[in-house]
């Protein structure tokens, strides 16, 4: 089982309360191995009112929270039964587990927030294995040889025709293993 991103429906206006309650439950119930990140999708907007520039944080999807988790029975039960959560998006109900977001969808939402689907502090380190999810080397697995955070690029060593070859990919094109 791998960690994936899911959309959780909340009572409108309670997104931050749900995020806080979920994070508290993760810590108190020691679920850090199954539930990783809880994100309220938001963007900064610049607004001019009476000639004064104001920066405002606006929710991208009011009533929704993104949760990165491994869909185990326990994690699913904990998230579903958190106060303020009304359900998962992509679930038919009747006890059916939801469908995760596609990596491209997650990249688009998190990218607009200046975040990455990949937990850079854990997954992007020299020597770690990654799977390339996009581009000409799609579905290849390799080891990170070099990390360039400034340009958001990696040098990954992959097996190409029986020979180890270095390829340059963007961080958004890989998934940690």
Same domain, yes or no: 19 and 100: yes
Same domain, yes or no: 99 and 39: yes
Among 34-48, 50-64, 100-114, the minimum mean pLDDT is found in 100-114
Task: Tell me phi and psi for residue 112, to 5 degrees.
Answer: -65, -20
Over residues 109-128, mean pLDDT:
73
Number of structural domains in the chain: 2
Same domain, yes or no: 79 and 21: yes
Total-model pTM: 0.68
Q: How far is CA 30 from CA 24, 75, 97, in A?
A: 10, 11, 22
Over residues 134-158, mean pLDDT:
85
Domain encompassing residue 145: 122-176
pLDDT at 108: 80
pLDDT at 49: 82
Same domain, yes or no: 140 and 70: no
Same domain, yes or no: 30 and 108: yes
Over residues 132-145, mean pLDDT:
86
pLDDT at 18: 93
Per residue in 18-52, pLDDT (tens digit) is 999 999 998 888 888 888 889 998 888 888 888 88
pLDDT at 121: 59
Out of 8-17, 122-131, 151-160, give the one with best mean pLDDT.
Answer: 8-17
Of 71, 94, 117, the position where a domain reaches its end is: 117
Over residues 168-172, mean pLDDT:
83
Does residue 6 have a pLDDT over 90? Answer: yes
Q: What is the CATH number of the domain that holds 160?
A: 2.30.30.30
Same domain, yes or no: 108 and 166: no
Confidence band of 119 (pLDDT split at 50, 70, 90): low
Detail the DSSP E strand segments found in 21-121. 35-39, 42-49, 52-59, 64-69, 85-88
Of 93, 117, 141, the position where a domain reaches its end is: 117
Same domain, yes or no: 157 and 139: yes
Same domain, yes or no: 147 and 111: no
Q: What is the CATH number of the domain that holds 84?
A: 3.30.70.940
Which residue(s) pair with 38 in the sheet? 67
Among 31-45, 90-104, 105-119, the minimum mean pLDDT is found in 105-119
Detail the DSSP E strand segments found in 17-160. 35-39, 42-49, 52-59, 64-69, 85-88, 129-132, 141-148, 153-160
Same domain, yes or no: 148 and 96: no
Same domain, yes or no: 166 and 81: no
Does residue 54 have a pLDDT over 80? Answer: yes
More confident site: 114 or 133:
133
């Amino acid at each position: 089982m791998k960690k994936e991103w899911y959309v959780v429906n909340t009572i409108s206006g309670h997104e931050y309360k749900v995020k806080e309650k979920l994070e508290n439950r993760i810590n108190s119930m020691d679920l850090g191995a199954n539930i990783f990140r809880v994100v309220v999708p938001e963007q900064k907007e610049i607004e001019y009112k009476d000639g004064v520039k104001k920066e405002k944080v606006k929710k991208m999807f009011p009533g929704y929270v993104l949760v990165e988790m491994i869909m185990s029975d326990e994690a699913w039960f904990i998230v579903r039964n958190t106060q303020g959560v009304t359900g998962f998006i992509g679930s038919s109900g009747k006890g059916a587990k939801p469908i995760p977001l596609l990596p491209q969808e997650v990249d688009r939402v998190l990218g607009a927030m200046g975040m990455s689907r990949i937990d850079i502090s854990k997954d992007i380190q020299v020597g770690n294995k990654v799977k390339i999810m996009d581009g000409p080397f799609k579905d290849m697995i390799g080891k990170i040889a070099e990390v360039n955070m400034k340009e958001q690029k990696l040098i990954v060593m992959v097996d190409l025709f029986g020979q180890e070859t270095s390829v340059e990919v963007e961080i958004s094109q890989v998934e940690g293993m």
